[in-house]
Amino acid sequence: MRLRSIPLSQIQVVDPFWSRYQRALVELGLPAQFRQIVETGRLRNFERAAAGERGDFDGYRFNDSDVYKWIEACAYVLAKYPSETLQRDVLHAIDLIAEAQMPDGYLNTYFQLMHPEMRWRNLIAMHEMYCAGHLIEAGVAVLECLGDRKLLDVGIKFADHIASIFGPGKRRGACGHQEIELALIKLSDATGDPKYRELARWMIEDRGQRPSYFEKEFADTEAIALCPAAADLLLHKGQYSGEYLQDHLPIREHSDVVGHAVRAMYFYIAAAQLEPDAELRDALSRTWKSVTERRMYITGGIGPSGDNEGFTTDYDLPNLNAYAETCAAVGLTLWGSALLNLTGNSEYADVMERAIYNGALAGISLDTTHYFYANPLESRGGNARVPWFGCACCPPNIARLIGSIGRYAASISEEGLWIHIPFGMELDLNFSGVPVRVQIDSGYPFESKVVVSVEPASPIEFEIRFRIPDWADNVETEIPGLEAEAEYSDGYICARKLWKPGDVAKFDIEMRPRWISADPRVRDNLGRSAMTLGPLVYAAEETDLGFAPQLFAADTAAEPEVIQSSKLEGASMIRVAGERIFETFPDQLYAETQALEYEEAVATLIPYYAWCNRGSTSMQVWIRT
């Protein structure tokens, strides 16, 4: 990779916006998730497996993964906000997981309790390696953030078990739901052992080849029957095209993003981290463009359809029924980050930031205890955040993104420090052996001014690359001692100079309310605009308007007014002028158009991520103009 993420131990997030979320997760969100994990039997599955029981399993076959993701999220936030009770729960869960592991390294409570003889026979639907991947990710996080390697050792043992069965010269196969690939790469990074990365590479390149190893499984009807939904689809309806799980083509031939959105994202995240050659980079670039230029909501949400939890066709982006799963936006964030580190091109940071602050963050309530699985861009009052889901992938996923948010804000490279998202952080870096402490202060995402204070142990030359967001026409800079005009590269300001103790660089990113239109091929948004401010997409909610926002039409020529508010944890609101239709109408369903009554009206918009925090209500992102 050209850029490297900065280890979380060297990043301290001091930004009020994210610190508030992280603290809430420690105090409220993650303890509440643990109660759900306990009450839904997810922990009991491990207890039973540890006790060698048989025949009883609670919930979905992939429920182990929720425990792993919860541990990962806890590890991130506990490193910063210690909590005895939460740490005790985490360590207890780790103990149970370790006890449940079989002597040969296998670990999956569903199979251990229900079908021990059926291991690895239904890769297409049974998620064994998917769960293994989240185990490994959690193990790496616990070691990195809490200094405890017990869970990582469990993960390594499982990974070695997988590597003893699958790989070149052994069995073909990978998981129907990608995840193991990116986890194996993480494991190589954590252990220094390249064999895991090579196994991931082989899995990634082998997927989509013909004959497909997934298709071979159809003959094993006993194993396929373990998942009735898949059996119905694969055997009875014969509808397997491979697209759902990206098995339609070898990755090097991918162009349009297809199928299940989270599977696709996890797949491409791993591929981007493989040090891809030119051909694979081209495939990733084509597929990235297909997502971000034709199949992505303005929020960074992706995967419009609930039918396949995934992608449909170009420009098909319905608002009311948008699926736009929280996990898919988290996945797009991680893929953007991986491509950003691969290339140093700000276009990936633009999308990453869009997904973080909108499509992903909307998936969690302000107090971090209630969640959306789907993230529509319009509501007619029927949506509500809930504390948990039967398939509970999203709650711990958004929690671990928030817990590790610093990872996506900055990178380092040979050139120096890259600031992708300039929220408040303290960074402990080292350039050419010289320790450098960098502090970033800002009111991001609501305020435009960013102050970067640099404290090298001794003067040292390096570059600070500061991203110019796609939503800013201009970034004003004030960098002491930088004689020459600032240089620009791939969307970054390149401030190369000899940095001395006490140096302070100032950036002011032009931030104004902007009415945005969609490409006219997005039919759903014709005649509509969405309001944005900086990285944030705004929404109209009935709570603020006093009437359903669908009745409102904005005057995009009028000057929008940014309002500082104490509501919604201090989010900036935006007041826009327009007119509303009244709900008075003749006593019939259809009448001549002149029967409608209009009145001038003002609508106060809130950030999309904050919607549905004051009860179920009507909401709209794309406002009629």
Residues designated as active site:
309, 393
**527 contacts its own copies (rule: CB under 8 A):** yes
Neighbours of 554 (CB within 10 A): 25
In this chain, which of 476, 478, 519, 561 binds its own copies, going by CB under 8 A?
A: 519
Q: How far is the CB of 243 from its own copies (least distance, A)?
A: 18
Q: How far is the CB of 520 from its own copies (least distance, A)?
A: 5
**294 contacts its own copies (rule: CB under 8 A):** yes
Number of residues that bind its own copies (CB under 8 A): 42
Q: Crossing angle for the helix pair 394-403 and 30-39, nearest 10 degrees?
A: 150
**Which residue stretch of 90-98, 431-439, 487-495, 513-521 sits at the interface with its own copies (rule: CB under 8 A)?**
513-521
**380 contacts its own copies (rule: CB under 8 A):** yes
Token pair listed for 72: 């990962």
**Which residue stretch of 115-123, 266-274, 412-420, 591-599 sits at the interface with its own copies (rule: CB under 8 A)?**
591-599
Q: How far is the CB of 529 from its own copies (least distance, A)?
A: 5
**Which residue stretch of 32-40, 279-287, 548-556, 566-574 sits at the interface with its own copies (rule: CB under 8 A)?**
548-556
**Which residue stretch of 127-135, 278-286, 436-444, 514-522 sits at the interface with its own copies (rule: CB under 8 A)?**
514-522
The answer to whether the bond into 211 is cis (omega within 30° of 0) is yes
In this chain, which of 222, 293, 414, 461 binds its own copies, going by CB under 8 A?
A: 293
**81 contacts its own copies (rule: CB under 8 A):** no
Do the beta carbons of residue 21 and residue 571 sit within 8 Å?
Answer: no
Distances (CA, A) of 164 to 34, 120, 160, 169, 313: 33, 13, 6, 10, 40
> DSSP of 56-79, one letter per residue?
---S-TTTHHHHHHHHHHHHHHHT
**226 contacts its own copies (rule: CB under 8 A):** no
- Look up tokens 């508010």; give the residue: 565
**183 contacts its own copies (rule: CB under 8 A):** no
**461 contacts its own copies (rule: CB under 8 A):** no
CA distance 125 to 141: 27
Torsion of CA 170, 171, 177, 179, to 10 degrees: -10
**Which residue stretch of 7-15, 250-258, 458-466, 585-593 sits at the interface with its own copies (rule: CB under 8 A)?**
585-593
CA distance 499 to 480: 9
Q: How far is the CB of 350 from its own copies (least distance, A)?
A: 10
> DSSP of 14-29, one letter per residue?
--HHHHHHHHHIIIII
**590 contacts its own copies (rule: CB under 8 A):** yes
Residue 112: exposure state from Cβ atoms within 10 A (0-12, 13-18, ≥19): buried
Classify each residue of 473-491 as buried b or exposed e, where b means 16 or more C-beta atoms within 10 Å of its C-beta. eebebebeebeeeeeeebb
* Binding residues among 306-335 for its own copies as defined by CB under 8 A: 318, 320
Q: How far is the CB of 337 from its own copies (least distance, A)?
A: 20
Token pair listed for 238: 């014969």
**138 contacts its own copies (rule: CB under 8 A):** no
Nearer of residues 412 and 621 to its own copies, judged by Cβ = 621
**501 contacts its own copies (rule: CB under 8 A):** no
In this chain, which of 442, 529, 572, 604 binds its own copies, going by CB under 8 A?
A: 529
CA distance 350 to 333: 10
**582 contacts its own copies (rule: CB under 8 A):** yes
Among the residues of 52-209, which ranges form H helices?
A: 64-78, 84-100, 109-114, 123-126, 128-146, 150-165, 180-191, 195-206
**523 contacts its own copies (rule: CB under 8 A):** yes
**86 contacts its own copies (rule: CB under 8 A):** no
- Look up tokens 């996945």; give the residue: 331
Q: How far is the CB of 550 from its own copies (least distance, A)?
A: 5
Nearer of residues 7 and 520 to its own copies, judged by Cβ = 520
**591 contacts its own copies (rule: CB under 8 A):** yes
With CA atoms as reference, report the closest residue to 446 among 473, 416, 424.
Answer: 424
Nearer of residues 218 and 515 to its own copies, judged by Cβ = 515
**472 contacts its own copies (rule: CB under 8 A):** no
Question: Residue 551: helix, strand or coil by DSSP?
Answer: helix
Nearer of residues 432 and 588 to its own copies, judged by Cβ = 588
The contact set with its own copies (CB under 8 A) reads 292-294, 296, 298, 318, 320, 380, 514-523, 526-527, 529-530, 548, 550-551, 553, 556, 581-583, 585, 587-593, 595-596, 624-625
